């Protein structure tokens, strides 16, 4: 697993094919790497003032100081403490979505493809400029590699729209289950969106292979007719 992770993280990120190469007949076997890196960037915008587009490092420390000891500062601190929950939920949702899709089989060794997940940003965003409610904001990336470690597909996704529940900061702080609820809804939405996109690549691959086989058959027939 360590070897797999090392070549995944070192692979070139600029390869963007037009379709997904097929390795064998369905289902395609895929290994989802257990380590899901989480950025230190916290997206946090209130209705009254955008405290930060990215809270992290020295900038994050300065912003936290500006927030003082109020509920927003407490919320940023809680988000940072709970960042592992975002990676765990993302991994679980992708695993569940692939695991119930007939096109794919999740395996632990000898995969056709390898998936690297990452959380690029997470936090809360004002649900409305007219009240104090806030909505989960979450940005992720899905990367697909072949068994040799070459990047095949890289896709960003996220959640933060009307499908997510809204609560005040005080409600998030006093009832941690509210953030759990938002994370669960968002992770399922993200997983469905990403795997649907992935399956479109897989479908285009099948069509491309059928077209290629048809061309080969046509060439073969014409060759036989040639004097």
What is the reported pLDDT for 201? 83
Cα 192 to Cα 27, 33, 131, 147: the distances in Å are 18, 19, 31, 24
- What pLDDT is stored for residue 130 in this prediction? 81
Q: How far apart are CA 144 and CA 118, in angstroms?
A: 12
State whether residue 65 is helix, strand or coil. Answer: helix
Pairing of strands 42-45, 52-55: antiparallel
Q: Is the dihedral of CA 109, 7, 150, 156 positive or negative?
A: positive
Instruction: Give the pLDDT confidence score for residue 128 in this predicted structure.
Output: 83
**Residues 151 and 130: beta-carbon distance below 8 Å:** no
Count CB neighbours of 182 within 10 A. 24
Note down pLDDT in tens along the chain; length 227 residues: 333 433 333 344 434 444 565 555 678 999 999 999 999 889 888 876 544 444 444 444 445 445 557 898 999 999 999 999 999 999 999 999 999 999 999 999 999 999 999 999 999 999 887 888 999 999 999 999 999 999 999 999 999 988 899 999 999 999 999 999 999 999 999 999 999 999 988 766 554 444 434 433 433 443 444 44
Residue 67: the pLDDT is 56
Residue 91 has what pLDDT?
A: 98
Specify whether domain 10-222 bears CATH 3.40.50.10610.
Answer: yes
Residue 195 CA, distance from chain mean position:
10
pTM over 0.95: no
Nearest to 149 by CA among 9, 22, 1: 9
Q: Spell out the domain ranges in the chain.
A: 10-222
């Amino acid at each position: 697993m360590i070897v797999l992770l090392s070549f995944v993280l070192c692979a070139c990120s600029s390869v963007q094919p037009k379709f997904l190469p097929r390795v064998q007949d369905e289902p395609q076997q895929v290994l989802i790497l257990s380590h899901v890196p989480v950025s230190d960037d916290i997206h946090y915008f209130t209705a009254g003032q955008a405290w930060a587009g990215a809270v992290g490092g020295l900038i994050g420390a300065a912003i936290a100081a500006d927030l003082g000891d109020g509920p927003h500062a407490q919320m940023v601190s809680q988000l940072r403490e709970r960042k592992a929950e975002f990676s765990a939920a993302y991994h679980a949702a992708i695993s569940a979505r692939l695991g119930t899709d007939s096109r794919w089989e999740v395996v632990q060794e000898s995969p056709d493809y390898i998936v690297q997940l990452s959380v690029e940003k997470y936090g809360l965003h004002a649900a409305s400029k007219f009240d104090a409610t806030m909505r989960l904001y979450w940005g992720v990336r899905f990367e697909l590699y072949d068994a040799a470690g070459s990047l095949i597909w890289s896709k960003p996704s996220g959640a933060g729209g009307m499908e997510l529940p809204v609560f005040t900061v005080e409600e998030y702080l006093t009832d941690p289950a509210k953030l759990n609820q938002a994370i669960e809804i968002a992770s399922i939405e993200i997983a469905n969106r990403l795997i649907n996109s992935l399956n479109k690549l897989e479908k285009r691959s099948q069509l491309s292979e059928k077209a290629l086989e048809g061309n080969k058959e046509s060439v073969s027939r014409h060759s036989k007719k040639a004097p």
